[in-house]
Amino acid sequence: MNNAQIVELGKKYVMNTYGRLPISLVKGQGARVWDADGREYLDFLAGLAVNSLGHCHPKVVDALTQQAATLLHVSNLYWIEPQVKLAQALVENSFADKVFFCNSGAEANEGAIKLARKYAKKTWGPDKYEIITMEKSFHGRTLATVTATAQPKYQKDYEPLPQGFRYAPFGDLKALEKAITANTCAIMVEPVQGEGGVNLADPAYWQGLAKLAETNNLLLIFDEVQCGLGRTGKLFAHEHYGVTPHIMTLAKALAGGAPMGALLATDDVAQAFQPGDHASTFGGNPLVAAAGVAVMDVLLKDGLMDNCREVGAYFMGHLRRLQEKYPLIQGVRGLGLMVACELDRPGADIVAECLKKGLIINCTAVKVLRFLPPLTITKADVDEAVAVLEEVLAGVAAADSAATGGQGQ
């Protein structure tokens, strides 16, 4: 089928929950994808930070192929060898002592909320249940995680929402301190806010955050679903700030495109979960866990985080050059290959124009162009992407100038 046929069939049978662009991607290799009409694109979104090793990385493909021919699924009533190996790799390269596997970032965050509450009630008493999250955060789409997501647009029409969440502005220690009550048990925060616009906080904020958690006997939960696993140039984004959580969540890049999430915790906190307290039928099954083992092996051995830091800095340098040339870019920010351009207007039309010219990017928080290319991306790829983006921006600037009678912005 071609693009038009797939789109027509999809509109007939698939629920209308996404503002989908009118193409169907059917093939991928490295940083390139092809649609059903045979057109090639440079992918600077990587499946929303999922395909961090690029599309169809040979080690991931080989791991999936071999495991699919050996054992696809057994339940967690039994020990699963690839799952155990992946847990070992995550623990030996993080602060954590134990791992729980699930299928998505939302499920990982749901598990983190449950674990924090259970630990707090067991340790500090029945009144400890509140979790503070940050404005402009994003933690998932379940009822609990959409409540943790401090953005009303995601919560609209789903009331009544679960109790036990309070919000504070991201990066504001004084406001965070005021939000703490006698019922607070944890602070949940993304080291880099992804869906909220690739927002970063001052390094001093993280030191203060850790001190607040320690002083008030609060658990610290880091949601690294999007920013973790090499995306920022370190294996985990919180490593940039020299702080350590009690609980961390992962997903997106963890299994190279296979659906997988993980909840990591210290031994002291993890012991709050006992058999029967939490579960996932598919979580960490042989197929996705084998892919996860391959992903971790590549991340730790193939120099991708060095490439991420180098090419990310190169990319942001080019974007800042564009900012100097085109006033519609209000700011450039990012860490590693988690990069954003904030605009003075909604960015959806720019995303659509880039797509027409063969570049896949994304707009979040209405006015923020978000770039999440594979960690394997090259400077030549960046040059190509920037050339497309500049062509689109030049067109927008020309339209602005014409609309103002040649006065410019």
Rounded to 5°, the CA angle 190-225-253 comes to 145
* CB-count exposure of residue 385 (10 Å: 0-12, 13-18, 19+): buried
Catalytic (active site) residue 367: no
CA distance linking residue 220 with residue 190, whole number of Å:
11
Catalytic (active site) residue 252: yes
Structure token pair of residue 83: 């799952």
Please, which residues have CB within 8 angstroms of residue 109's CB and are 6 or more apart in sequence? Answer: 139, 140, 144, 145, 148, 188, 223, 225, 249
Contact status, residue 393 vs residue 361, Cβ threshold 8 Å: no
For 316, left (φ over 0), alpha (ψ -120 to 50), or beta? alpha
Task: Find out whether 282 is annotated in a ligand binding site.
Answer: no
Catalytic annotation, pick one of 138, 165, 222, 236:
138
Residue 300, phi then psi, degrees to nearest 5 = -85, -20
What's the N-to-C CA distance of the chain in angstroms?
Answer: 44
Cβ neighbour number for residue 379 with a 10 Å cutoff:
13
Task: Find out whether 223 is annotated in a ligand binding site.
Answer: yes
CA distance linking residue 222 with residue 186, whole number of Å:
10
Task: Find out whether 138 is annotated in a ligand binding site.
Answer: yes
Q: Residue 372's closest CA among 9, 31, 21?
A: 31
Task: Find out whether 323 is annotated in a ligand binding site.
Answer: no
Handedness of CA 146, 147, 148, 154 (dihedral sign): positive
Task: Find out whether 137 is annotated in a ligand binding site.
Answer: no
Task: Find out whether 280 is annotated in a ligand binding site.
Answer: yes
CA distance linking residue 360 with residue 371, whole number of Å:
9
Catalytic annotation, pick one of 223, 234, 273, 315:
223
Catalytic (active site) residue 138: yes
Please give the C-alpha separations between residue 121 and each of 167, 218, 268, in angstroms, as whole numbers: 21, 12, 14
Catalytic annotation, pick one of 128, 234, 252, 367:
252
Which positions make up the binding site for N(2)-acetyl-L-ornithine? 141, 280
Q: What are the binding residues?
A: 105-106, 138, 141, 223-226, 280-281
Binding residues for pyridoxal 5'-phosphate: 105-106, 138, 223-226, 281
Residues with catalytic roles:
138, 223, 252
